[in-house]
Amino acid sequence: MCLAIPVRIEKLIDEERALADIGGVRKEINIALVDDLQVGDYVILHVGYALNKLDPEEAAKTLALFEELGQLQAARDAALEGEAQS
């Protein structure tokens, strides 16, 4: 399964590279496929490449859903762990 995630551009390094915030982690990404990026823009990131710009509101919604899924997964894992101990 492949996953593309929204990330925020923190710093433009050069025409092909930028520093992005990925869930609190800063990582260098390739931005060669996206024109006219600025610090603060959101992009969809897949395997290290920015694919296209993303509206900030859509990015926020998607990131909130990922957070919710993470919380649901943590609750599920805790419940399964509790069943295993019973």
Domains of the chain from N-terminus onward: 5-85 (2.30.30.140)
Q: pLDDT 10s per residue in the chain (86 long)?
A: 567 889 999 999 999 999 999 888 899 999 999 999 999 999 999 999 999 999 999 999 988 888 888 776 776 776 667 666 65
Whole-number Cα distances in Å, 11 to 8, 22, 47, 62, 80: 9, 13, 19, 22, 41
Q: How high is the pLDDT of residue 41?
A: 97
Q: How high is the pLDDT of residue 57?
A: 95
Q: How high is the pLDDT of residue 45?
A: 93
Which DSSP category does 33 fall into?
T
